[in-house]
């Protein structure tokens, strides 16, 4: 698995670091929903199948989030299908995908390569990455507990006919935070990593100091050099929103 330590702006005292980790893993397979499955089971039968149901719901929600994020990357407006609440959920899914994609896929990794700008040493890059994974682990462990409690509390809604977007959303959150926690735990292990200094990432760091037109051109060149098809869209969001995302 290839992970890139991206320069996204100068570090501020006491604030966010000037680098963030990024990857472009392949999409996960999406299971087909089984209509009426929850209604045909007893409460205890539904509860026994909750882990698999949660995992399947997560993967379907992940596909929705990926599709919504793609629409935004390509400059299209958010999807107008469904109710206002459904569109709100899709926007939240897209934001979660952008933030947690790396951690979700890292949980499966048996080896990973950390690409970093040549302006820092490999030891500095690895130390920075592990420190971020430690913070991620603590954050996602807390939210996994909170959202799991919410999922259990709304279990009776599973027997209400029709799509249950409230349950759908909180199952996605609970499973997503659990997967992120697992990924962060894996990422904290130094033995997982090998490091690779990258000249294109150093060019990306310089690109952030350029005027908009020149910056866009330089970022596109860096993305092509690294073989990252979605990097330009990611950096555009970072610059336009003035926030740092975890891809």
Dihedral in degrees, nearest 10, Cα atoms 154, 157, 162, 167: 10
Secondary structure letter of residue 210 according to DSSP: S
The order of strands in the sheet holding 193-198 is 19-22, 2-7, 112-117, 193-198
Kindly report, residue by residue over 48-92, the tens digit of the pLDDT: 555 566 566 666 666 666 666 666 556 655 555 556 666 676 667
Contact 132, 8 (CB under 8 A): no
Give the pLDDT band of residue 14 (cuts 50, 70, 90): low
Cβ burial, residue 80 (10 Å; 0-12/13-18/19+): exposed
* pTM of the predicted model over 0.85: no
Give the pLDDT band of residue 160 (cuts 50, 70, 90): low
> Average pLDDT of 6-24?
72
Q: Which two tokens stand for residue 33?
A: 């929903």
């Amino acid at each position: 698995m290839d992970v890139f330590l991206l320069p996204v702006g100068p570090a501020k005292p006491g604030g966010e670091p000037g680098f963030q980790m990024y990857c472009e893993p392949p999409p996960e397979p999406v299971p087909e929903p089984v209509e009426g499955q929850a209604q045909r089971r007893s409460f205890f039968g539904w509860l026994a199948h909750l882990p698999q149901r949660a995992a399947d719901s997560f993967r379907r929600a992940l596909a929705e989030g990926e599709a919504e994020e793609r629409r935004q990357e390509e400059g299209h407006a958010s999807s107008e299908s469904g109710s206002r609440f459904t569109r709100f959920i899709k926007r939240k899914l897209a934001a979660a995908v952008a933030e947690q994609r790396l951690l979700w896929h890292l949980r499966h990794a048996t080896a990973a390569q950390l690409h970093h700008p040549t302006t820092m040493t490999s030891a500095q890059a690895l130390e920075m990455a592990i420190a971020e994974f430690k913070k991620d682990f603590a954050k996602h462990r807390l939210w996994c507990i909170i959202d799991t409690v919410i999922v259990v509390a709304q279990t009776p809604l599973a027997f209400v006919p029709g799509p249950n977007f409230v349950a759908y959303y909180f199952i996605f959150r609970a499973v997503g935070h659990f997967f992120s926690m697992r990924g962060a735990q894996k990422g904290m292990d130094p033995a997982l990593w090998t490091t690779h200094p990258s000249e294109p990432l150093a060019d990306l760091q310089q690109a952030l100091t350029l005027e908009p037109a020149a910056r866009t051109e330089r970022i596109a060149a860096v993305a092509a050099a690294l073989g990252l098809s979605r990097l330009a869209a990611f950096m555009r969001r970072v610059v336009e929103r003035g926030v740092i995302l975890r891809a």
